[in-house]
């Protein structure tokens, strides 16, 4: 069978891949191939916002697990990642948060030229004209009480979100349209499918970037049990995410030479930073019972299902994380280091634990972790998932765990505020018997979980540990770029969907010669 040939090959149909498929095919003269390892996004659980955790550990989830975490009681933490059209935008909690101006200005100051907040603001604006970003249609009454409690505790209403500010407590903005999820596949990919110059293959596992004389020339992949190769006349673009993009680079011989050689992989280019610099947001949750039968525990009733199907209203339109607050734990900090997320449900262990009754949750999120981890190969076989070691709570000074303990104290203060009194019952987690900071540290290490935001493993910038330049081209290999959350030099103070889409919007301009870096 002859090799197919395209101008651009994009690996991964997640947030970034969907954007690239749309923007690159706006030019009718180019042909684009989009490869996606997962399948379609047509499950009902994708469409129903509140049902996102029903997709966890299914065929639509990569279902990663970390290595045992010394800082988290030797636990293996579950990391869901979307494996379908739309990627993780098809199974996330739909929270749209730009992050803080300081995040992007720090990228630029660290060597990512052209990625300061004023440089990227227009790409956020462009994305927001394409996506559907809304307030929730039917906010739970406990969420309103949480926001009143937050204001009673001195947290203001956020101002300046579009100017790079975010401090304070407010309703969550979500990627929904009239009460149903509106993913990157909905916003970007489906309109582009009408174009004859876009080819999309699902159920395809990319196995190798083909490189000839230090230039990417195509992608080898497995489809229906057969290995095939597609040629790229212009570029290969990896948009497979912070775990799968570095994995594909390394099995292709692009990465730390010593580690590749030990596995028998021929070194194409020694690039030590591939897979390093892994960062994620860790969260510790306080869960309380609710004496009023109003929480999302009732969301799966037949009445609520009918209301969703007929009217796109009711509890099933909830994204579960209905409100959030960003704050500084110390006055001298330049920007928030803690996020408090409110869920009108007892959300324990990714929602796998069946609630015994009504309840609510406040999750304290470590926004600026000092701990750094890595993605490393377990095998030269590209079909074997890599090891994921975030090294949670491993920072030498212990700042990460202290910040989370502060967050637990604040969550208890919010639950104890007068506006929340009629909804606050017995504390389920950590429990009233857990009082001292030492006891809270044990709780955090035993119970904290990911907020699903891995980034940084193909760091953008200069120096020996950088993987891509400011134009997102891989150092030392021509015609190869990485465009996804892995290029973030440092994790943002927010949620990673919005900046990932922004990155892809800017990358499309860079690829087409319309932008600067």
251-290 burial: b if 16+ Cβ within 10 Å, else e: bbbbbbbebbeeeebeebbbbebbbbbbbbbbbbbbbbbb
- Compute the average pLDDT of residues 20-24: 98
What pLDDT, on the 0 to 100 scale, is given for residue 166?
83
- Compute the average pLDDT of residues 421-447: 97
**What angle is formed at CA 350 by the lines to CA 349 and CA 355, rounded to 5 degrees?**
65
The CATH number of 1-61+79-135+174-277+454-517 is: 3.50.50.60
Tokens of 465: 């540990």
Tell me the longest C-alpha to C-alpha distance in the chain. Answer: 71
Q: What is the 3-state secondary structure (H, E, C) of 331-400?
A: CCCCCCCEEEEEECCCCCHHHCCCCCCCEEEEEEEECCCCCCEEEECCCCCCCCCCEEECCCCCCCCCHH
Average pLDDT, the chain: 96
3-state helix, strand, coil in the chain (%, to 5): 30, 25, 45
What pLDDT, on the 0 to 100 scale, is given for residue 4?
87
Residues 6+ apart with CB under 8 A from 64: 78, 79, 80, 81, 243, 385, 388
Residue 142 scores a pLDDT above 60: yes
Please write the tens of the pLDDT for every residue from 94-116. 999 999 999 999 999 999 999 99
Q: Is the peptide bond before 125 cis (omega within 30 degrees of 0)?
A: no
- DSSP H helices, 92-212, are 101-109, 117-130, 141-152, 184, 190-192
Torsion sign over Cα 422, 428, 434, 438: negative
Please write the tens of the pLDDT for every residue from 160-191. 566 667 899 999 999 999 999 999 999 999 99
What pLDDT, on the 0 to 100 scale, is given for residue 2?
55
Please write the tens of the pLDDT for every residue from 268-327. 999 999 999 999 999 999 999 999 999 999 999 999 999 999 999 999 999 999 999 999
Torsion sign over Cα 76, 82, 84, 90: positive
Please write the tens of the pLDDT for every residue from 357-409. 999 999 999 999 999 999 999 999 999 999 999 999 999 999 999 999 999 99
Enumerate the domain spans of the chain. 1-61+79-135+174-277+454-517, 137-171+282-368+394-447
> Nearest 5°: phi and psi at 385?
-65, 150
Residue 25 scores a pLDDT above 60: yes
Concatenated DSSP letters for 216-251?
EEEEEEEETTEEEEEEEEEEEEE-SHHHHHHHHHHH
Q: Are 80 and 91 in contact (CB under 8 A)?
A: yes
Q: How far apart are CA 281 and CA 293, in angstroms?
A: 31
Cβ-based neighbour number of residue 20 at 10 Å: 29
**Pairing relationship of beta strands 168-171 and 323-327 according to DSSP bridges:** antiparallel
The β-bridge partners of 333 are none
* 137-171+282-368+394-447 classified as CATH 1.10.760.10: no
- Compute the average pLDDT of residues 136-144: 97
305-328 burial: b if 16+ Cβ within 10 Å, else e: bebbeeebebbbbbbbbbbbbbbe
Tokens of 135: 């307030």
Percent above pLDDT 70 for the chain: 98
- Compute the average pLDDT of residues 140-144: 98
What pLDDT, on the 0 to 100 scale, is given for residue 517?
63
- Compute the average pLDDT of residues 225-250: 97
What pLDDT, on the 0 to 100 scale, is given for residue 162?
64
What pLDDT, on the 0 to 100 scale, is given for residue 1?
46
Q: Supply the residues annotated as catalytic.
A: 453
400-409 burial: b if 16+ Cβ within 10 Å, else e: bbbbbbbbbe
Q: How far apart are CA 374 and CA 273, in angstroms?
A: 9
pTM: 0.97
Helix (H) or strand (E) holding 133: strand 133-135
Using the 8-state DSSP alphabet, how is residue 505 labeled?
H
């Amino acid at each position: 069978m002859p090799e197919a040939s395209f101008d651009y090959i994009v690996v991964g149909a997640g947030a970034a891949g969907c954007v690239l498929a749309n923007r690159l095919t706006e030019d009718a003269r180019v042909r684009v191939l989009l490869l996606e390892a997962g399948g379609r996004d047509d499950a009902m659980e994708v469409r129903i916002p509140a049902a996102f955790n029903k997709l966890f550990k299914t065929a639509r989830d990569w279902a990663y697990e970390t290595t045992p975490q010394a800082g988290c009681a030797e636990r293996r933490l579950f990391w869901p990642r979307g494996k379908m059209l739309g990627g993780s935008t098809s199974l996330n909690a739909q929270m749209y948060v730009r992050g803080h101006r300081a995040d992007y200005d720090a990228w630029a100051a660290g060597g990512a030229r052209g990625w300061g907040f004023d440089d990227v603001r227009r790409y956020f604006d462009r994305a927001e004209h394409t996506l559907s970003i809304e307030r929730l249609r039917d906010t739970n009454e406990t969420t309103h009480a949480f926001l009143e409690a937050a204001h009673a505790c001195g947290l203001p209403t956020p101002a300046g979100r579009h100017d790079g500010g975010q401090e304070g407590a407010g309703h969550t903005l979500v990627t929904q349209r009239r009460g149903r999820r509106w993913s990157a596949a909905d916003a970007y990919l489906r309109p582009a499918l009408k174009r004859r110059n876009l080819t999309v293959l699902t159920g395809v596992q990319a196995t190798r970037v083909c490189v000839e004389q230090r230039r990417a020339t195509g992608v080898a992949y497995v489809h229906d049990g057969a290995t095939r190769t597609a040629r790229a006349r212009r570029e290969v673009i990896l948009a497979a995410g912070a775990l799968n993009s570095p994995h594909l680079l390394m099995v292709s011989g692009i990465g730390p030479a010593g580690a590749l050689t030990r596995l028998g992989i021929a070194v194409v280019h020694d690039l030590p930073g591939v897979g390093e610099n892994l960062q994620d947001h860790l969260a510790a949750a306080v869960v309380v019972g609710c004496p009023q039968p109003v929480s999302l525990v009732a969301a799966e009733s037949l009445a609520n299902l009918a209301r969703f199907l007929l009217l796109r209203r009711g509890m099933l339109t909830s994204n579960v994380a209905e409100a959030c607050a960003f704050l500084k734990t110390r006055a001298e900090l330049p920007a928030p280091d803690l996020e408090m997320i409110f869920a009108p449900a007892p959300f324990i262990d990714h929602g796998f634990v069946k609630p015994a009754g009504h309840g609510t949750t406040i999750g304290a999120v470590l926004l600026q972790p000092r701990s750094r981890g890595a993605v490393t190969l377990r095998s030269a076989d590209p079909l074997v998932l890599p090891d994921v070691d975030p090294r949670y709570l491993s920072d030498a000074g212990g700042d990460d765990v202290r910040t989370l303990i502060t967050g637990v104290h604040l969550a208890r203060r919010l639950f104890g505020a007068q506006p929340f009194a009629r909804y606050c019952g017995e504390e389920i987690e950590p429990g009233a018997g857990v009082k001292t900071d030492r006891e809270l540290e044990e709780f955090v290490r035993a119970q904290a979980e990911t907020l699903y935001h891995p980034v940084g493993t193909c760091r953008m910038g200069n120096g020996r540990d950088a993987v891509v330049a400011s134009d997102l081209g891989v150092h030392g290999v021509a015609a190869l770029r990485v465009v996804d959350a892995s290029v973030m030099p440092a994790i943002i103070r927010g949620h990673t969907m919005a900046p990932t889409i922004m990155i892809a919007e800017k990358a499309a301009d860079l690829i087409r010669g319309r932008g600067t870096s």
